[in-house]
Structure 1
Amino acid sequence: MKSVGILSQAWRREKINELKEIAEKAGKMGYNEIWSGVDPNYIEGIKEISAVAEKYNMYFFIDINPDIMRGFGASPTNLKVFKDLKIGGIRLDYGFSIEDTIKMANNDLGLKIELNASIFPLDKLDYVVKNVKDIENLKASHDFYPIKYTGLSLESAIAKSKEFKERGIPVAVFVAPPREIEGRNTIETLRGKSIGKAASILFNSRYIDRVILGHPFPTDEELKELIEAKEYTTIRVLVYPGLTEEEKKVFTVFSDVRVKEYTIGLSKMMENNIKPRNIVRRFRGAVTVMNCRKNVVEVWIFKKEVEADSRFNVIGEVYYDDMDLLDYIGENMNVKLVPIYMKQS
């Protein structure tokens, strides 16, 4: 199940009211998670954020290492202080042994334990899974890398995430808005991309279930963008002149999405009275609709160039900034087509 979250900074006394307001906005919009660093010397900040998380039934998890744990007076066998603060999970950043990880995951407080998906030794993963009483107690989340050129590759992040996902452990990744070039991004190749596109690429991988907005002070539009990416992948279409009313039906959300060698097929059961027109060659990014279907609208987006076919109307092309999405769309992932109309001179 896909989940979206925000990053908070419950340790920032001077910004706690602003952070709480953002958490409120996220909760009202349907966000599922809040991640935060914490300071054992500023308990009130944790309480402020955890109260918002509880109000909106959001999973609130915090980042700790052995020093922070000691600061709370906690230990791998005594995590009660976190439960008392209404924290839902603790992320083990670094410094904990495998045995300590197992002890914490077997807590009887209902606390989730987040493994560090970026650095956790994968050869130890089956051992941990075998010795944890309930796999539901385990989650995983990657590190974020704010410094440019220090992030993971997309291929590496997906490969690491796959190891956790295939064992029933949901994985989180951080993305930051393009205005934050040195923001909290897990994956280097997603740095500078829009939040919606970055999140869509991650969700379409099928091995990353959770995306966290890696900026503590997002705009309302950025919050909305991530929520929408949870529901569907948006592909903008530069529409050619002459689009008919019947062809406008393609600008909707498709749930039946199929990935082929040459194409991405989108179909939806509805009346189709589309007549043949603009029968021309198809190229990478060409958006076409079939004119020979009665009760289904079939859109085929081409990934390679092919000859013209009398059954396919070419109605537009994928907007240049969305073209790379063609390489990441996953089977049966929701896709929404959005029109961009060219200005008439």
Structure 2
Amino acid sequence: SDLTQGIIEAGGNPENILTCHNFYPQRYTCPSLEAVDATNDALKKQGISTAMFLSSQVPGTHGPWPVSDGLPTVEEHRDIPVESQLKHMMAMNNVTEAIFGNAFASDEEFRVISETMQQAYPEMESLDAVDPFFGDIVREWLPDGQIRRIPLKLHLEPGLSQNEKDAIFSFNYHVDLGDCLNYMLRSRLGRMLYKGRDFTPRVCEREKFVKGDVVLVNDNCKHYAGEVQVVMKDMKNDGQRNLLGHIGENELMILDEIGAGDIYGFVEA
């Protein structure tokens, strides 16, 4: 970022500067995610585009050297599906482009990337199919008319009611306002949109909920019933929340990147 700042001070146009991180064929040689994230943030503040490398999971794929352990920019991406890598880059909110480094990614990997992009960038008109009022709220957040959400893969618990499924999927633009980001990502809109619906408590034998669990406030706490929460720290199961499902292991790190005002949604695993 010091180099690019010098280029800008010398008259360079940030819009004409493209930067890209390295890739690392040898396992455990990647820089830390924190260092990459900080560099990206600094470049973003300068108005400069930044690319990172996706690592194909196809066995035997290679880069420039005779090594076949993937080709990521950060070690956390080396062994997880490409769509999870891509969603993590989206959630970082400072990556402009994702590039496959190793050859050759499969047709299936390109298919799931295309599917993920469609899930992440839905048509704005689809908001009105659920509720015009809440559609207008989302448009206020996104005055440029482009909606982007992080589509988290959710493994559902068996036996969910239709009301519980609606709270997850019908209005699938969840957001935490940021005032209580601690134990959970808290999506408040559901309790307003589904006020008065039946959210009967369901028995869950677990003593506590853990990071990645997705829960819904039930009728034992009626004022907040219908609120969807993604658990970020261990929380005691006090009977006021129904367990809806859990985020897959490969996508837990995505939760750490979601902050106030970031829109996320759920797709069934």
1:303 is aligned to 232
| TM score, norm. by length of structure 1 | 0.55
Matches of 1:335 and 1:229, distance apart in 2: 13
Deviations 1:270-298 (A, max 9, x none): 44524231265541132111336799953
| Equivalent of residue 114 in structure 2, options 207, 227, 246 | 227
Q: Is the aligned partner of 1:332 residue 2:261? A: yes
Contact 2:217 2:225 in 1 (8 A): no
Q: % of aligned pairs identical?
A: 24
2:140 is aligned to none
1:275 is aligned to 199
Partner SS for 1:246: helix
Change in 2 beyond 3 A, CA 1:282/1:274: farther
| TM score, norm. by length of structure 2 | 0.69
Contact 1:257 1:265 in 2 (8 A): yes
- Aligned-residue offset at 1:134: 2.7
Q: Is the aligned partner of 1:135 residue 2:14? A: yes
Contact 1:197 1:229 in 2 (8 A): no
Q: Is the aligned partner of 1:264 residue 2:190? A: no
- Aligned-residue offset at 1:127: 1.9
1:70 is aligned to none
Change in 2 beyond 3 A, CA 1:157/1:263: same
5+ residue gaps, structure 2: 62-67, 121-148
Q: After the TM superposition, which parts of structure 1 deviate over 4 Å for at least 4 consecutive aligned residues?
A: 279-282, 292-297
Matches of 2:151 and 2:171, distance apart in 1: 9
Deviations 1:153-190 (A, max 9, x none): 21121122222111110111011122345333111221
The structure with higher relative contact order (CA 8 Å, sep 6+) is 2
Contact 1:176 1:191 in 2 (8 A): yes
| Equivalent of residue 174 in structure 1, options 48, 53, 56 | 53
Q: Partner letter of residue 79 of structure 2?
A: G
5+ residue gaps, structure 1: 1-121, 341-345
What is the correspondence of 1:65-80 to structure 2 with a 5 Å cutoff?
A: none
Q: Partner letter of residue 261 of structure 1?
A: N
1:156 is aligned to 35
Matches of 2:57 and 2:170, distance apart in 1: 27
- Aligned-residue offset at 1:268: 4.7
Greater shift, 325-334 or 168-177, is seen at 325-334
Contact 1:171 1:209 in 2 (8 A): yes
- Aligned-residue offset at 1:256: 3.7
- Aligned-residue offset at 1:216: 4.3
Give the aligned length. 219
Contact 1:271 1:295 in 2 (8 A): no
Q: Partner letter of residue 202 of structure 2?
A: N
Change in 2 beyond 3 A, CA 1:193/1:126: same
1:314 is aligned to 243
Contact 1:253 1:335 in 2 (8 A): no
Contact 2:19 2:50 in 1 (8 A): yes
Change in 2 beyond 3 A, CA 1:253/1:188: farther
Matches of 1:214 and 1:294, distance apart in 2: 50
| Equivalent of residue 186 in structure 1, options 58, 73, 81 | 73
Larger of the two Rg values belongs to structure: 1
Matches of 1:217 and 1:262, distance apart in 2: 41
Contact 1:237 1:337 in 2 (8 A): yes
Matches of 2:111 and 2:223, distance apart in 1: 36
Change in 2 beyond 3 A, CA 1:317/1:194: same
- Aligned-residue offset at 1:222: 1.1
Partner SS for 1:277: coil
Contact 2:174 2:265 in 1 (8 A): no
